[in-house]
Amino acid sequence: MRTDALFLEPEANMGTRVQFSDMNLDDRLLKGIAKLGWANPTEIQTEAIPLLIEGKDVLVTAQTGTGKTAVFAIPIIQKILQAKQESLSRLPSSVKAVVLAPSKELCTQIAKCFVDLCQFCLRDLKAINIAVGRSSKSLLADKPDVIVSTPSQLLTHLRNKTIVLNKTMEWFVVDEADLIFSYGYEDDIRNIMKFLPTIYQACLTSATLLEGVLEMKSLLLHNPVTVKVEEAAAVSARLTQYHIRCQKEDKFLLIYSLLKLRLITGKTLIFVNTIDSCYCLKLFLEQFSIASCVVNSELPHNSRCHIVEQFNRGIYDIVIAVTDELSQDESTAQQSRKRKRDREYGISRGIDFQHVDNIVLFDFPLTLKSYIHCIGRTARGEESGTTLSFVCSESEEERLEKAQSNQKEHLGVVAIKPYQFKMSEIEGFRYRAKDALSAVTKTAVRQARLKEIKTELLTSDRLKTHFEDNPRDLQILRHDQALHPTKVQQHMKHVPTYLVPKSLRGQVATAAAQERGLSQMKRKKKSYCHSNKKKNRKVRSSEDPLRTFDCIISSD
């Protein structure tokens, strides 16, 4: 996002930092860590990993993006490898560790972390994800060492006796513990406790110490060590936060102008609070040929994970995501139905969106916790990031003030600064935005919603076998196709020079020239391939013996 603000550089490392090699880890595990590109452990990893390897119960609290998954994954892998190596005869395969997470997306991410860390010892350690309920029985037949699941899925298997933990389990982990209760898993956790052995090592990770976390701490942990690392100051140095006050009808004008004028560039996550708003914004951007993907709880889990994966690979630049919170203006019945669609959906929290440059809060989050976790999708690790919040009502103003007060309390400064932007500079865009928005009716949104769900279901279910046999097809599958329930006017794709503010004309002209250059190269390449095909067809036809024979006959 282009601004006049200065980005503060992360402070240089002072003194000697602990390395992963100093933790007496298995060589195969160290190779996996090196392959992932983890040069040095984060502060929370430095503090917590040795404690877990020692066998202590640990409560880990740290901000999002600090590497909490590796905090428990590395000790579990190390202890299992060590036990198998020290055993005179190979230990029988059995479930030795259970990791619970509140959402399916987070379970997929955790399981991938285990697999990546174990890439040099896959014969000695198996980790599976049973959260999605996809051929769980066949996966369990391989007798995995580590199981990753949501509480509800694990409880189902325990009751059906397809998983038995009371004899073999040694480690029990609850990731993002503060969300477990808000997702309605309190009863599930208490019922799971009945199936656990008497003695086991436990770990809880959380970004906050809410009442539910403290309750779970007393329920699951025995004489625990609490490891709390405050990295708020370091994060604030890499994260620049802005807000802009506007009228509700100006939000669409703003997002269109910021994207088209290249004031927002790079990989961008746009958060909204409802599914209808998600499709409304996508259809609006389509009017200007701005491609985007949508992620919400209605889409199949496989599609959601595939979108995140492709976004991380750089295939998409813009993803419009619905926050995990339900809108307050929905009725109780609607809320109940929405949660039943997939109550294990979670995007704003825990998911590792990689290399995100910008977060745009098109709808200001409903709670302070949701705001913190939405902006936590950027400025992860040692990277920098920018957030921009649209504030257009009294309720959103109150939530903004609450977020500012919270940051002032923890950082000593008001970190969410006003974005210096003159609405008068984009008045020329207003008629275009109004024209495009008038085409995005409730009927159009409903049709787009149905079309997207049908398409994704077809891709997710019916083509599953095809993709298993043809993985390359899955790699090129795109989720940012235009829905087009309304007529798109082609002239809206380009911005006339006279509408561009004078200070930005050079930047916009350069970007437009680059785009034209790329499109021309694509057309030339396509034309070249097409002409070559025609030449090849001519050569083949001239050499066709039947055609030659016909010519000979006719000449006679």
The dihedral over CA atoms of 197, 206, 337, 281, expressed in degrees to the nearest 10, equals -150
Edge-to-edge strand list for the sheet holding 171-174? 127-129, 146-149, 97-100, 171-174, 201-206, 58-61, 225-228
Q: Which domains does the chain have, with CATH numbers?
A: 20-230 (3.40.50.300), 233-330+341-494 (3.40.50.300), 496-526 (no CATH)
Locate 501 and state its tokens.
């503010």
Q: How far apart are CA 532 and CA 529, in angstroms?
A: 5
Alpha helical stretches, state H, 287-420: 301-312, 332-341, 368-375, 394-411
Q: What region does 350 belong to: left with phi over 0, alpha with psi -120 to 50, or beta?
A: left
Helices 394-411 and 368-375 cross at an angle (nearest 10°) of 70
- pLDDT score for 493: 79
Edge-to-edge strand list for the sheet holding 385-391? 293-295, 318-322, 268-272, 358-361, 385-391, 239-245, 416-418
Contact assessment for residue 208 and residue 369, using Cβ atoms and an 8 Å cutoff? yes
Contact assessment for residue 291 and residue 318, using Cβ atoms and an 8 Å cutoff? yes
Q: How far apart are CA 389 and CA 277, in angstroms?
A: 16
Give the total residue count for the chain: 556
How many Cβ atoms from other residues are within 10 Å of residue 276's Cβ? 17
Locate 452 and state its tokens.
């997207």
- pLDDT score for 528: 53
Q: How far apart are CA 27 and CA 82, in angstroms?
A: 11
Contact assessment for residue 379 and residue 239, using Cβ atoms and an 8 Å cutoff? yes
Residues 6+ apart with CB under 8 A from 360: 255, 264, 268, 269, 270, 271, 387, 388, 390
Residue type, 400: L
Alpha-carbon Rg for the chain, nearest whole angstrom, is 27
- pLDDT score for 420: 86
Q: Could you tell me the pTM of the whole model?
A: 0.72
Residue type, 432: R
Angle in degrees, CA 11, 16, 17, rounded to 5: 75
Residue type, 74: I
pLDDT tens for the 556 residues of the chain, in order: 544 332 223 333 334 568 899 999 999 999 999 999 998 898 899 999 999 999 999 999 887 777 899 999 999 999 999 998 887 545 567 899 999 998 888 898 999 999 999 999 988 899 999 987 555 666 777 789 999 999 999 999 999 998 989 888 999 999 988 888 777 788 999 999 999 999 999 999 987 777 778 888 888 999 999 998 765 554 567 889 999 999 988 999 999 999 999 899 999 999 999 999 999 999 999 999 899 999 988 888 778 888 888 898 899 899 999 986 654 444 333 444 444 445 565 665 556 788 899 999 999 999 887 888 888 888 876 788 999 999 999 999 999 999 999 888 877 777 899 998 888 889 999 999 999 999 899 999 998 898 888 777 666 655 566 666 677 766 666 777 777 655 666 667 777 777 788 777 776 666 666 665 555 555 555 555 555 555 555 444 444 433 333 333 333 3
Helix (H, G, I), strand (E, B) or coil at 415: coil
Helix (H, G, I), strand (E, B) or coil at 235: helix
Residues 6+ apart with CB under 8 A from 320: 270, 271, 272, 278, 281, 282, 292, 293, 294, 295, 362
What distances in angstroms separate CA 93 from CA 74, 116, 141, 146, 199, one per listed residue?
Answer: 19, 20, 11, 10, 19
Most distant CA pair in the chain, distance: 103
How many Cβ atoms from other residues are within 10 Å of residue 510's Cβ? 11
> Is the alpha carbon torsion for 293, 296, 300, 303 positive or negative?
positive
- pLDDT score for 358: 96
- pLDDT score for 147: 95
> Is the alpha carbon torsion for 427, 428, 430, 433 positive or negative?
negative
Q: How far apart are CA 543 and CA 523, in angstroms?
A: 30
Locate 481 and state its tokens.
């196709």
Residue type, 500: V
Residues 6+ apart with CB under 8 A from 80: 96, 97, 124, 125, 145, 146
Locate 423 and state its tokens.
């609405």
Residues 6+ apart with CB under 8 A from 179: 102, 103, 346, 349, 350
Q: How far apart are CA 375 and CA 365, in angstroms?
A: 10
